[in-house]
Amino acid sequence: GSNVTMNPGFEVKSGSFFKAYIAPCSNGGIPTTARAAQEEVLIPHLTEIRPADRRPVQNSNYYTVADGKIIFNIATKGKMEIMGKMTDGSWKTFYPEEVIYPGFYSLPAPNAFTGEVKMKFNKADMQKL
């Protein structure tokens, strides 16, 4: 078909993710979301911490890494990019050029992540707290 329909009551819990694919199945079907190895990295689930008022905590963009989470504040609509250093020394990019709206967000660190992060907003480095 050409669409995915969510029935009433459908929800995705915090800490999990949902993917829907619309494509021909002749190339092997739906890709798996299973983590086959510690080094395999999936795009982690982005959670807005203050969804009720949809506002940032402050009027500046910043991020911090604590307790296995990347927490960040976005003051204006723009494009975000998150790069994380992996245990093998390589850098992986998550949410490249992802459009994001003002708010306060949390993102669980992916598998094999060292805790070292570089974040850009509208191609400029974000301030780390």
Q: Which of 31 and 66 is assigned the larger pLDDT?
A: 66
User: pTM of the full predicted structure?
Assistant: 0.60
Q: What is the pLDDT of residue 39?
A: 37
Q: What is the pLDDT of residue 35?
A: 38
- Those residues whose C-beta lies under 8 Å from the C-beta of residue 121, and which sit 6 or more positions away, are 61, 74, 78, 79, 80, 81
* pLDDT averaged over every residue in the chain: 75
Identify the burial level of 1 via C-beta atoms within 10 angstroms of its C-beta, where 0-12 means exposed, 13-18 middle and 19 or more buried: exposed
Q: Which of 123 and 94 is assigned the larger pLDDT?
A: 123
User: Are the C-beta atoms of residues 6 and 55 closer than 8 Å to each other?
Assistant: no
